Structure 1
Amino acid sequence: MSNVDNEANGYSLGQILLAVFAGVVGIVAFVVIVAKIFGVTDPVEVNEPVAVAAKLEENIKPVAVVELAEEVAAGAPGKSGAEVVKAVCSMCHAAGLMNAPKIGDNAQWAPRIAQGYEILVKHAIEGIRSMPARGGNPALTDEEVASAVAEMANASGAKFTAPAPKAAEAAPATEPAKAAEPVAAAAPVAAGKSGEEVYKAVCLMCHGAGLMNAPKFGDKAQWAPRIAQGYDTLVSHAVNGIRTMPAKGGNPALSDAEVAAAVKHMANAAGAGF
């Protein structure tokens, strides 16, 4: 054999592998350098579009959210007939308690409708027989009561025209500033209704005849287990309502003190010593 063949056969396997590795490394280094020179960037992660969208949404969010509270004007419009019926009149007229004509019963309403709208409104405002004035809620205006009468009567065969709802009053125009005037002494706060007055105006409707399991006024046997619960418990039940008895007897205009006075008046008339 020649000298060339002897030299080629002289390379070992390790030398050959080392040469191949060096070549691969050189090629990779060449590619990296070319990429840097021509501005090729690193690959973008798959989740990057999602992150970018989230960041964009975060940037365009308002700094703060303003919630507008409902402002009640001093001259707010009155309640509709439907609202008054639901809050006050339905207590008796929905089920026909105490001979109240049931809403939707044309036969019961017919003789009343025949009296005329004005007479029915007058009776509802002033009270008649077992029905207290304004349904037991003195806070109702004449227009609100009249609207409620039309609502119930029209649902029972009438064709009355209810008064137009009272529009909200415009705020008074600002007047030029005036010189300071002496401030008059504040008028004394009117005292609340007595327990007897509240009973006659509100509680009598059910407690007078013992309707809806209400303990009848003066019936000691019915009142005894209730009196045993204590005055504070009875007042709490009357203020907050319990079972079929609505809160404050269905008249939210009553103060807690007036309700408590009515409880004392009825309980003491049935043997309590409150």
Structure 2
Amino acid sequence: MADPHANMTQATPQEVIISLLAGLFAPLLAIFLIVQLVLGIQEEQQPDTTSEAAQKATLSRIKPFAQLVALDANAPRVEKSGQAVYDAVCASCHTSGALGAPKFEDKGGWGPRLGQGFDTLVKHAIDGIRQMPPRGGDGDLSDVEVARAVAYMTNSAGASFEAPEGAAPAAAADTAGATEAAAPAAAATTSKPDPAKGKAVYESSCAVCHAAGVAGAPKPGDKAAWATRVSQGYATLYDHALNGIRGMPPKGGNADLSEADLADAVGYLFAESGGKL
């Protein structure tokens, strides 16, 4: 009977090595591709510090957990000026032209609207029109405050509408008490700030937004971005920093910051950006 193994050819050492390498090549290639895939996913997930989402996340992290506000139920409501309403409510859309809103001081954008007349524009602002919600989204605004804001915006674009005065607020019964309540803010704005000290406060509390321009915060030394702000004066800028404005929370989100330190920080930014103290 014939031996079945007699016709088998014996493999050479070279063939054995080639077979082993061929067998290892496929799993090594698979491992390499998996590693490249993981590295690619990790690279795509690196934090983006320039996106709007990252800026909102930064503001959310520095926002105070809570704010305590004491209100006097018997105190008369003092209506805001047109500029104050614009800064607090309207600027979020009318500064950038979001959702087709005509930009502040843009005569081309406001031109066709001015021809409709002041009363029509006020009605649109109160009732809402197209993408703009009633009263700009702030239901607490009075008709007089809305009308003042409309006059402030339209007059910046060449109109000459007269803003309504509204009812004069009643005089406070206790003048001495009101003076004492306003004393801390008055002291901070009347005493000359120290920009040298303010630099340290800026670096510890303000730089997180102003150094990178987060949420539209003007960068120190950027005179073009600060020009309109510097023209408002140091006292106004201090008030904005103390109470917050648009995307900036009160005291830049640091509730523990003293008013004297805040005044120094505002003085530093004011002086660095072309203001004269």
Fold match (TM-score > 0.5): no
Structure showing greater Rg: 1
Decide which structure has greater helix share.
2
Greater relative contact order (Cα < 8 A, sep 6+): 2
> For the superposition of Structure 1 and Structure 2, which TM-score range results when normalised by the shorter chain?
0.3 to 0.5
